[in-house]
Amino acid sequence: MKEYKILQIKESVFEDNNKQADLLREQLKEDKIFLLNLMSSPGAGKTTTLTRTIELLKDKLRIGVMEADIDSDVDAKTISETGVKVIQLHTGGMCHLDADMTKQGLEGLEAEGTDLVILENVGNLVCPAEFDTGSVKNAMILSVPEGDDKPLKYPLMFSICDVLLVNKIDVMPYFNFNLQACIDRVTKLNPNIKVIPVCAKTGEGIEEFADWLYNETKTWQSV
């Protein structure tokens, strides 16, 4: 039988993407645009949380939103109702965005002149965690119905995020969800992460997240 070579390409793919991500951050710094990468499982409440956050910030910051999905424009239509600039990104079957795709999205959004751009990544706890999008900060949403054990099952996602929103706390009495256990598991993986319990439906906790996002944006622009 003829011998054949096995080539491991994963590392080189990530290395190339990381270089592009660093270049994109440099450009964002020059343009004074803060890019937040928002991730979660499908149905965790990204779009509702984002809508609430925009309402609190749109009079303080010039905001743009990139909605990433394998298909459909449902989320972009919802966000457009807030009055901010928005673009829908179709990933062509890909379960994540990488730095080059994010750059294309920013160009399509015509992000020049914005202070804050939020990328609502594809709903997935695996692939989006592996690819640096070029964002300044990463945020994720974990909803109560998903369970407090998710940091054990998807450690990379929780390790790369700067802030974690624990959403749907209004239904916590109906689920076997231990908030303190979740916080302990997350901070063991990522001691510097900020954890904010929220309820996107009622707005509880969203102001704290909006304040964090506003301060991070202003700090990025001033340095």
Determine how many CB atoms are found less than 10 A away from the CB of residue 98.
23
Mean pLDDT, residues 40-68: 96
Mean pLDDT, residues 186-191: 98
Which of the two residues, 154 and 72, has the higher pLDDT score? Answer: 154
Q: Measured at the alpha carbon of residue 210, what is the angle toward residues 96 and 186, in degrees to the nearest 5?
A: 60
Q: What CATH architecture is 18-205?
A: 3-Layer(aba) Sandwich (3.40)
Report how far residue 1's alpha carbon sits from residue 19's, in angstroms, rounded to the nearest whole number. 40
Confidence band of 95 (pLDDT split at 50, 70, 90)? confident
Which stretch of 68-72, 113-117, 143-147, 184-188 has the lowest confidence by average pLDDT? 68-72
**Neighbour order of strands in the sheet with 85-90:** 85-90, 63-69, 116-120, 34-40, 137-143, 163-167, 194-197
Report how far residue 195's alpha carbon sits from residue 180's, in angstroms, rounded to the nearest whole number. 11
Token pair recorded at residue 148? 């407090």
Confidence band of 3 (pLDDT split at 50, 70, 90)? low
Confidence band of 186 (pLDDT split at 50, 70, 90)? very high
Determine how many CB atoms are found less than 10 A away from the CB of residue 141.
27
Instruction: Provide the residue ranges of all domains of the chain, joining segments of one domain with +.
Output: 18-205
Confidence band of 9 (pLDDT split at 50, 70, 90)? very low
Residues 139 and 165: beta-carbon distance below 8 Å: yes
Instruction: For residue 148, give the H/E element and its range.
Output: none
Start-end of H helices in 45-98: 46-57, 74-80
Mean pLDDT, residues 166-182: 97
In this prediction, residue 165 carries a pLDDT of 98
In this prediction, residue 15 carries a pLDDT of 85
Average pLDDT value for the chain: 92
pTM: predicted TM-score of the whole model, two decimal places: 0.92
